[in-house]
Amino acid sequence: MMRAVFAAVLATAVILPSAAFAGPIEDRKAIMKGNGRDTKMAADMLKGAVPFDAAAANKILANYAAAAKAFPAHFPANSKTGGETEASSAIWAMPADWKIATDKFQKDTVAAVALKPGDAASFGKAFGMVTANCKSCHEGFRIKKG
């Protein structure tokens, strides 16, 4: 079960090379790249590939919460295409559903931070709460090109 979760998370975390593109597309991709790096680091800790470090784990959760808060501001109507964006047109076509997804990401990341995990087991729980959002949002709102 944990293995399946890691596989899904790592598949999500693949970092694609992207051309430099100034503006909201570049900004939102940069936020997501940070999520990808943090998720890789967290998965390594949870697999035991690197030792569990409570400070690093809590920093990752704080990063997720900051990313979730900042992310929705980078989707103006003039950023639907260009810059090799993988954003689905559903973001603009179904704004209520998009808001539900971004609100849930914010709520779950804030809740994960509040857990203040001190060991790998509780970090795994917090991590699972956060990363369920990666998959569900990407399914609905990201057209993966890579």
Residues that bind ligand HEC (CB under 6 A): 12-13, 15-16, 18, 25, 28-29, 32-33, 35-36, 39, 64, 85-87, 101-102, 105, 130-131, 133-134, 137-138, 141-142
3 CB-side CA count, 13 A: 0
- Measured from the CB atom, is 41 or 120 closer to ligand HEC? 41
Q: How far is the CB of 17 from ligand HEC (least distance, A)?
A: 8
- Measured from the CB atom, is 29 or 57 closer to ligand HEC? 29
- Measured from the CB atom, is 53 or 142 closer to ligand HEC? 142
Residue 36 in contact with residue 47, Cβ under 8 Å? no
- CA geometry: angle 20, 21, 22, nearest 5 deg: 120
Q: How far is the CB of 140 from ligand HEC (least distance, A)?
A: 8
Residue 146 in contact with residue 16, Cβ under 8 Å? yes
Q: Give the whole-angstrom CA distance, residue 18 versus residue 15.
A: 9
